[in-house]
Structures are given as structure tokens and as C-alpha cells.
Amino acid sequence: MLGDLQELKASHYFDLIDEDDNGLVDARDFELRADRMAEARNVHDPEARAELRDRVMTWWEHLCALADIDDDDRVTREEWETYWEALQASVNQAEAENSRTLQSLERAARGTFQAMNTTDTPHVTEEEYAEWLQAWGMPESKAAFDQLDRDGTGVLTEQDLVQAVKEFYLSNDPQAPGNVLYGELPR
């Protein structure tokens, strides 16, 4: 069972990923996402655009492998919710399972970090985070950035993202900084 806050986050995230608003998440949504990210970052060089698209499509393949239960290459809202419940359940179980789930979230977090991090620096800047939100169609939020930057260094490290991703999927604490990974949640 998901807590109310997890339900809200799962639904918010599904709505964001479902770029063409057809109620399903599939490869098309991620192609659109890649275009939107390229626009948010003013990436015009064809090679750089192709590289960005490859990264985004790898992300889709990873997500599809985890969440597409009936193997039809698209993820329904029900499958999405089942995926979130499975993550939650395996964290509640034995430690061996637990570490596998946490590893999968850590992998997702590293992917998220790389997607946000457009320059080859060891951190994500406020501007990069703003572009990330823009690519999701979300308004810029300094407040969200400041929450994710929990140690107040002015940048987001990979470790900040690992904590944020775990909280985004697993926490029902309204104060958890990771809640705002994809911008302020709808109220």
C-alpha cells in the first residue's frame, strides 16, 4: 500500500512523464521529453542532440523493464502504481531484497543526476535544475532547489540526488526534501 503522499507523487510524476497526455507512458513520451530537454538547454548541435536523446531513451528502457508488467512496451497508470507498490514492498522486506531495490533507486538517481547535469562538473547548479524543471513543463522553483540542496552548499551533488530519489519514491514525510525532485507538488 502506498501512503497518500506517495500516491500524490506517483500520480504527479506519471502526469509529467506522459508528455502527450494520452494516459499511457511509452517511447513517444520520451522522444518528446528529449526534444523538450534539448530546447530547454538550447542544444542545437545534431550530435549533442542525438547523445541527449540516447540518454533519455536508455532511461525509458530502464523504466520500461521495471514497470511494464505485461510487456506491451507501454506503462499504464495501473502498472505505474504497481511498480511503486513493489518498490515500497521490497523495501519493507528482507535486507537482501531491500538492497536490490535501493540499488535500483540509486541507479535511477545517478541517471537523474546525469540528465540534470549538462556540463561535466561533479554537481548540478541552480540553473541546470531550473532547465530540468522547464523540460518537465514545471515552473522554476528556487524553494525546491534549496530543499534538495539540504546541506546548503549551493549545488546538488550525486549524493543529494540519491537521497532525493529515495525520498521521492518511498517517503510519506511531508518534510522530506526529496518530495520536490520534480518541482512543487500539486495541492
Q: Point out which residues bind Ca ion (CB under 5 A).
A: 18, 20, 22, 24, 29, 68, 70, 72
Minimum distance of Ca ion from residue 5's CB (angstroms): 24
Would you say 27 or 143 has its CB closer to Ca ion? 27
Would you say 67 or 176 has its CB closer to Ca ion? 67
Q: Are 132 and 114 in contact (CB under 8 A)?
A: no
Minimum distance of Ca ion from residue 11's CB (angstroms): 14
CA distance 169 to 5: 10
Minimum distance of Ca ion from residue 111's CB (angstroms): 20
CA neighbor of 66 nearest in space, from 124, 111, 35: 111
Would you say 18 or 149 has its CB closer to Ca ion? 18
Alpha-carbon distance values, 145 to 25, 36, 134 (Å): 27, 20, 13
Would you say 29 or 128 has its CB closer to Ca ion? 29
Query: What DSSP state is assigned to residue 94?
Result: -
